[in-house]
């Protein structure tokens, strides 16, 4: 049973259930360009009995090589507010390959210094369709609607279960 508290949550839940595959496990990694929304996601995950993936040293080292020195160095992986698409893509590739991660949630909050659609295109391009699950959450209402449409329209040769949370 899934409890929802609004019509928006109801439709997001239906979309999630309709488009996703059963999870491989319960270890979630989160990529975000906003620390606040990442922490909110962790809080909700924990409150619902979920489990945050514990990043191994080699995964942190791989992320160190591609992220700015100010990144969070933990999960959630805060790739910083000015993150261009390339930073999203590299983070998705690393975490999708990490053995300690079963599912990946990629989040984006709009900023004046980064393109929401570029970030979405990069995530779609970097997603490993054979490795498992990807969830996305582009927050910001109409400001991110074109990016959300990109996820909805993405054609996956092996359905990955890309799900959009609002």
Q: Is residue 146 part of a domain?
A: yes
Q: Is residue 14 part of a domain?
A: no
Asked if 165 contacts 9 with a C-beta cutoff of 8 angstroms, the reply is no
Q: Is residue 64 part of a domain?
A: yes
CATH code, domain with 160:
3.40.50.261
**Considering the chain, what percentage of its residues have pLDDT values greater than 90?**
61
Average pLDDT in the 54-82 region?
97
Task: Give the SS3 label for residue 139.
Answer: coil
Integer angstrom CA distances of residue 37 from 70, 81, 149, 159 = 17, 11, 21, 27
| In the block, residue with structure tokens 């092996």 | 158
Full domain range(s) for residue 126: 43-165
Q: Is residue 72 part of a domain?
A: yes
Asked if 19 contacts 163 with a C-beta cutoff of 8 angstroms, the reply is yes
**Stronger pLDDT, 26 or 62, i.e. the higher one:** 62
Q: Is residue 107 part of a domain?
A: yes
Q: Is residue 93 part of a domain?
A: yes
Which pLDDT belongs to residue 157? 42
Integer angstrom CA distances of residue 116 from 82, 136, 137, 154, 159 = 11, 12, 11, 15, 23
Q: Is residue 16 part of a domain?
A: no
| Nearest CA-CA partner of 163 in 107, 112, 91, 90 | 107
Number of structural domains found in the chain: 1
Which pLDDT belongs to residue 156? 54
Q: Is residue 37 part of a domain?
A: no
Please give the Cα distance from 104 to 129 (Å, whole number): 12
**Considering the chain, what percentage of its residues have pLDDT values greater than 70?**
81
| Nearest CA-CA partner of 86 in 110, 121, 134 | 121
pLDDT in tens, 117-165: 999 999 999 986 555 578 889 999 899 999 988 888 876 544 444 455 5
Average pLDDT in the 48-77 region?
97
């Amino acid at each position: 049973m899934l409890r929802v508290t609004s019509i928006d949550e109801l439709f997001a839940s239906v979309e999630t259930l309709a488009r996703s595959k059963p999870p491989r496990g319960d270890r979630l990694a989160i990529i975000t360009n906003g620390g606040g929304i990442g922490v909110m996601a962790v809080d909700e995950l924990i409150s619902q009995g979920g489990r945050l993936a514990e990043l191994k040293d080699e995964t942190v080292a791989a992320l160190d090589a591609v992220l700015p020195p100010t990144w969070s160095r933990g999960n959630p992986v805060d790739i910083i507010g000015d993150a261009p698409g390339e930073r999203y893509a590299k983070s998705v590739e690393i975490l999708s390959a990490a053995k300690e991660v079963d599912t990946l949630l990629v989040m984006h909050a709009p900023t004046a210094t980064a393109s929401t659609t570029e970030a979405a295109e990069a995530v779609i391009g970097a997603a490993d369709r054979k490795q498992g699950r990807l969830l996305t959450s582009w927050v910001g209402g109409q400001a991110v609607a074109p990016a959300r449409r990109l996820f909805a329209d993405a054609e996956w040769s092996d359905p990955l279960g890309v799900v959009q949370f609002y």
